[in-house]
Each structure stands twice: as C-alpha cells, then as structure tokens.
Amino acid sequence: MPKRLIAEKIINLTPLKASYPLNYMIPVYHSVSDEHIPHIKHIINYKSRQQFEKDIDYMSKKFHFADWDFFKENHNKTATKPLALMTFDDGFYEFKDIVLPILERKGIYAINFINPAFTGDQDLMFRCKISLLIERLNEFSSVPEPLFKLLNLKNGSKTDIIRKLKSISYNHQDLINETAALLEFNFSDYLKNNKVYLDLEDLNYIKNKGFGIAAHSWDHPYYNELPVNEQIKNTTLSIEYMKENNFLDDTFAFPFTDFGVKNEFFVKLFHGNNNLKYTFGCAGLKLDSYPENLQRIPMENGLSAEDELKFQCLYFKLKKYINKNTIIRK
C-alpha cells in the first residue's frame, strides 16, 4: 500500500496527542511552484506556494527553526521546542525566486544541497531527464513501436513504458539518451530554453542573503549502486567544490537515500574530511547507528506537514516497540 494511503489511515484512526520524540526535526523539499515544471513534475510531488507556506506556518508553531551554526551545536539539547533545520535539495532555480522570498518573510533559514555537475544548467540529473521523456511521451497518441524493444518490453501501454522509464538507474543512463533519440527530444535544447538550476551567481546571491549552500554529491547517483571508493569520490568532489567557492564544507546530504550505505563509507569520509560535522539521509523520523548521520523527513509525499509529522511520529513509536526505529550500519 502506498505510504500516502497508509498515512491517511493512521492519521484518521489515531489523533496525535504525544510530543515529538526527538530534540530536532529536519524537513527536506526540492522545489515550490504553482506552475507545471516538466523536468520534475513526474518525479517530485512538489508543493504550491500556498501549501508550502501552510507547512512552514504549522512547523513554526511546533519547532524552533535555526540556522546551521546553531543547529549543529544544539540539535541534541532538550528545549521547550525541538530545533528544526529547513533543507532543500538539488539546487533548482525556484529556490531563488519563490522559496527564498517566502523564507525571508518568515524569518527561516535554509540550506540548499546542490550537485555541482548541474550548476548553471551544464546538464540535467538523470531523473529529470526521465520526467521530460514522460512529458514528451504523453504528447504521442500511441507508443512508438521501437521503444518497446529498446526497453525490453514485448508490448504494453504508456503506463508500462512510464514504469520502465522510472526504473532506469544511474548506471544505465544510455537508455535515457536512446529513448530521447526515439522520441526526438533534445535535452540540450531544453536547457537552452528553460532555467532549471541555480548558477554560481545565483548561489552567491543566496549565500549573501544569509542562506547555506552545501554538497549533495557531484551528480546525484544512487549510492547503493556504487562501490565505496566511488561513493567517496563522488562525495569528495562535491565537498571540494564547496570549499573552492566558500560555501559550507562541513555538511553533506545524500542524494536519493543513504539506504545500504555501510559504516565503512562514513569512517572513510569523516577521516578524509576533518571539517565535516554531519551528513544527512532522508529516511524520515529515525535514528542512525552512525551518530553523525542525521535523518531528514521528506515533505513531498502528498501530505501536509501536519499530517506527515503525525504519521512520522506514530510510525517512529510503533517501530520503537519492535526495535526498528534505528538504522544499523554494518
């Protein structure tokens, strides 16, 4: 059953009365817009301005939003309100024109975790390319026959093709390019005509406004598909970019998920980066056996912040009874 439906059942059956179980909360978003954004529409359930403002108004009542310097020193301390750190991933352009003005007006700090490979629209993250291909496919009245062969499908519908496209991994991006050729879609042309990512000038503008810019890997792979030496390389390259540009070099957020990342990675990463304080996953409200790896709560699951946090709290407490609310690294 999809998480949204499970959450709705739990929320409807059990009103949240108990307090938040940790001393900190870290929400993660990607973009906010009232517009149709083809390169993320089919992969991210981003919120409208009104939905986002409703989220942060609710969270502000329950949590104390802090900047990075205060959060990293105080997130484990007990306080009247748990601390919160607002985070955004991927460095999408909407952060500058839409998100930043809202956060400024509300007095809320945020870190934007970015991928240097895409800064200034040098390229598109492979999942964004998939979203664009789905958008393009929807323009066709029927699926081009060669696409079934390319994607190793005997036959099927658009739904089957879309499901197959969404399953393409970081290590098989050749399929994305071949699909684009079949659908006569050019990613470079799209980037020429559409502002997708923040460029270095944008990032410095955001930094000078008092917000954080930090590492999110070089080019957004699935870490559990990479050997540990490639995980370290991809991470270190992105942190080096932060150092070179005077952005935050003491934190890192995993792209997608830290699922399957072993203890060896953290030991090597922190040993090789003495300034690194904390890394971030996005497994929801959970603890981690590697104490410097903090888990964030994804806020784009089709629920309001209020309902998402109710679900997270109840799920955390349920898993506590069966000793499953801590991620164990091997």
What DSSP assignment string belongs to 197-215? B--HHHHHHHHHTT-EEEE
| pLDDT mean across residues, the chain | 94
Tell whether the model's pLDDT for residue 13 goes beyond 60: no
Judged by DSSP in three states, 161 sits in helix
Q: Which of 72, 77, 113 is nearest to 92 (CA)?
A: 113
Q: How high is the pLDDT of residue 321? A: 86
Give dist(CA 270, CA 272) in Å, integer: 5
Q: Are strands 86-89 and 27-29 parallel, antiparallel or unpaired?
A: parallel
Has residue 56 got a pLDDT over 90?
yes
Q: Cα(140)–Cα(328) distance, rounded to whole angstroms?
A: 46
The reported pLDDT for the residue numbered 15 is 46
Locate the DSSP E strands across 141-273. Answer: 212-215, 251-253
Task: Give the three-state DSSP class for 114.
Answer: strand
pLDDT of res. 5:
54
Q: What is the structure's pLDDT at 16?
A: 44
CB 287, CB 257: distance < 8 Å: no
Q: What's at 208, amino acid-wise?
A: N
- For residue 156, what pLDDT is reported? 82
Looking at the chain, the whole-number percentage of residues with pLDDT higher than 90 is: 90
Q: Is the pLDDT of residue 230 over 50?
A: yes
Q: Is the pTM of this model over 0.85?
A: yes
Task: Check residues 132 and 13 and name the one with the higher pLDDT.
Answer: 132
Q: What is the dihedral of CA 313, 315, 318, 324, to 10 degrees?
A: -110
